[in-house]
Amino acid sequence: MAATKTQNAQPQLLFVDGSFEELAAEMADYLKAEEAKQLLANGDQASKDDVLAKLVAASQSLNTVPEKEFTAASNLLVHLVLQASDPKKYLQALCGVFAKPLANSPVHGPGLSLNGLTTVFNLLDQEDPVRARVFLEIVKFVRAHGMYDTLRPYMDKIGAWIDDWEDTGEDYQRKLYEEVAEAAIEAGEEEQGYEFILKALRSFDADEKEEVTSEDAQRLSLRAVKMALLSNNHFLFQELRAIPSVQALSDSQPVYSQLLDIFAEQDLEDYSDFNDEHEGWLEEQQLDHEKLHRKIRLLTFASLAAATPSREIEYSRIAKALQIPQEEVERWAIDVIRAGLLEGKLSQQRGVFLVHKATYRVFGQKQYQELASRVDHWRSTLQNVLGVLRQEQVNAKAQKEREVQELERKLANAGVSGEGGRQGGGPGGRRQQRERTDNDD
C-alpha cells in the first residue's frame, strides 16, 4: 500500500501504451459505454473530461467481469482518469466502484477490489487530500471484509500520513481514526483499537467546550473508559483522565466518571462502597463485575506496596486490604507481579512480601508525602548505617594502634634479650674472656 511522493509529473501505470483516444476507445468497448463511443467518434469535438465522465459512469459493469480480467481493466481505467484535467472529480466515484467486490468471484473478489483501491492510493501524490479520502475507503473496505491483516503493516504510518493530509481537517482525521479503531477491535486487536480511539479523542479541540461535550466526543469517551476498565492490560488511567472530553464525563456520565476515579487512585473498599451505592448498575451497563473486582484488588495491592516505607508488607495486611484469606496472599502476589504492577518476592518463612519496585497509579500530593516519608526513612536508615561504619572505623583504628604498640613492645623485649646473650654465655664471649685473662698474666 505504501507509495512514494511524485514530483513534476502525473504518475503513470507501467505496461500501458497508446494514446488517450486509443485506450479510451478500448475501454469504451470493454465497458459497452455507447455514449463514450459516440463522443470518441466525433474526434476533436469531444474533450477528455467528457469521455471520462461517460467511462466512469459505465464502470459499474466492472463488478461483473471475469476475475482474471479485472486487474487489467481497472488499471487501465485508473490510468485514463489520471489524465483528466481534474482527476479528483472521478477518483472517488471510481473508488466507490472498486469498493464493491466482484459478483463472479466470491473468493478472490475482495482481494482484487482492494488491489484496485490501493492502486489509486499509490498513484496519488503523497500530500493530495484525495489520497486521504481513498485511504478512508480502503479502511472501510478492509473492515467490511475482515481483511485487517492487509492493514496491519501500515498502522505505524497512519500518523505520518495524516500529518501530510493536514488540509483534510479534524473531522476527517477523527473519522479515520475511529474506522481504524473499529477495524482493529473487530479483528481482536483491542489494544491497537484503544490507542486509535484515544487519537480520535485528542482530535477534539480542548479549548472548545462545545467540541469536548459534543455527542461524538462523549460517545467516544465513554467507549474508551469502558475499554480501559475491562482491559486485562490497562491498570493506569492518568493518561485517559487527562483528555478533556473524558473529564467532561463528570457532567454527562457522573457514575462512569466516579467509577473511573476509583480505578485511577482508590482501592477495593471504595469499589465496594460504589457497588452498594449503585446496586445493579454494573449489570445494567454490561460491565463484568468479576473482571472489575479482580482488577481493583490488583490495584489495591499495588497501592499498598507503593505506600509502604519499609518495603516489607505482612501477609496479614495484604489479606485485610484485598479482603481475602491469608492463605491466598501468595497467589495474588504472583498475579500482581504478572500484571507488571510490582516487582518483589515472597518470604514464606517471615510471612512478608518484599517489595523491590512498585508502580504509582497516580502521583499527586498524597504520593509526594509518601515519597517524602520514604526518603526520611531511607535517610534515617543511612544515618544509622553511617554511624555504625564510623564507630567501626574508630574501633578498627584503636585496634590497629593496640596491635602496633604490642608489636613494638615485643620487639623491644626481643632486643634486650639478644644483647645479654652476646655478652654472656656464647662461644665468642668465653673466648674473649680467656684472651683478657691471658693478657692479664
Q: How far, in Å, CA of 257 to CA of 344, rounded?
A: 33
pLDDT by residue (tens digit) across 364-395? 556 556 666 667 776 778 888 888 898 999 89
Of 184-188, 206-210, 356-360, 431-435, the range with the highest mean pLDDT is 184-188
More confident residue, 364 or 299: 299
180 touches 139 (CB < 8 A): yes
- 135 occurs within a structural domain: yes
- 67 occurs within a structural domain: yes
Compute the Cα dihedral for 305, 310, 312, 317 and give only its sign: negative
pLDDT band at 122 (very low <50, low <70, confident <90, very high): confident
pLDDT band at 10 (very low <50, low <70, confident <90, very high): very low
- Compute the chain's Rg from CA coordinates: 41
Domain count, the chain: 1
- 73 occurs within a structural domain: yes
Q: Give the cell for residue 370.
A: 509518601
Is the pLDDT at 178 greater than 90? The verdict is: yes
- 38 occurs within a structural domain: yes
Is the pLDDT at 276 greater than 90? The verdict is: yes
- 384 occurs within a structural domain: no
Long-range own/partner contacts, residues 103-110 (CB < 8 A, 24 or more apart):
103/63, 103/64, 104/64, 104/65, 104/66, 104/67, 105/67, 105/70, 108/67, 109/67, 110/141, 110/145, 110/147
What are phi and psi for residue 391, nearest 5 degrees?
-65, -40
Mean pLDDT for the stretch of residues 277-301: 96
- 402 occurs within a structural domain: no
Distance of CA 191 to the CA centre of its chain: 8
Task: Tell me the pTM.
Answer: 0.74
Is the pLDDT at 424 greater than 70? The verdict is: no
CA-to-CA separations, 79 to 62, 66, 75, 123, 194, in angstroms, rounded = 15, 20, 6, 9, 38
What is residue 136's predicted lDDT score, i.e. its pLDDT? 92
pLDDT by residue (tens digit) across 55-91? 999 999 998 889 899 989 998 999 899 888 888 888 8
Is the pLDDT at 15 greater than 70? The verdict is: no
Mean pLDDT for the stretch of residues 130-150: 91
Mean pLDDT for the stretch of residues 30-48: 84
- 49 occurs within a structural domain: yes
More confident residue, 293 or 106: 293
Cell numbers 483501491 correspond to: 117
Round the average pLDDT of the chain to a whole number and report it: 86
342, β-bridge pairs? 358
Of 26-30, 102-106, 203-207, 220-224, the range with the highest mean pLDDT is 220-224
pLDDT by residue (tens digit) across 302-350? 999 988 888 899 999 999 999 999 999 999 999 999 999 999 999 999 9
Q: Residues 334, 269, 219, CA angle at the centre, nearest 5°? A: 90
C-beta neighbour count of 241 within 10 angstroms: 19
What is residue 368's predicted lDDT score, i.e. its pLDDT? 56
Is the pLDDT at 5 greater than 50? The verdict is: no
Q: How far, in Å, CA of 25 to CA of 10, rounded?
A: 21
Q: Give the cell for residue 325.
A: 484469606
Q: How far, in Å, CA of 189 to CA of 172, rounded?
A: 23
What is residue 359's predicted lDDT score, i.e. its pLDDT? 83
Sheet architecture: strand order including 312-314: 312-314, 352-358, 342-347
Is the pLDDT at 432 greater than 60? The verdict is: no
- 278 occurs within a structural domain: no
C-beta neighbour count of 268 within 10 angstroms: 20
Q: What's the domain range around 122? A: 14-144
Is the pLDDT at 27 greater than 60? The verdict is: yes
pLDDT band at 4 (very low <50, low <70, confident <90, very high): very low
367 touches 314 (CB < 8 A): no
Q: How far, in Å, CA of 375 to CA of 389, rounded?
A: 20
Q: Residues 87, 90, 150, CA angle at the centre, nearest 5°? A: 95
pLDDT by residue (tens digit) across 144-171? 999 999 999 889 999 889 888 877 888 8
Is the pLDDT at 219 greater than 60? The verdict is: yes
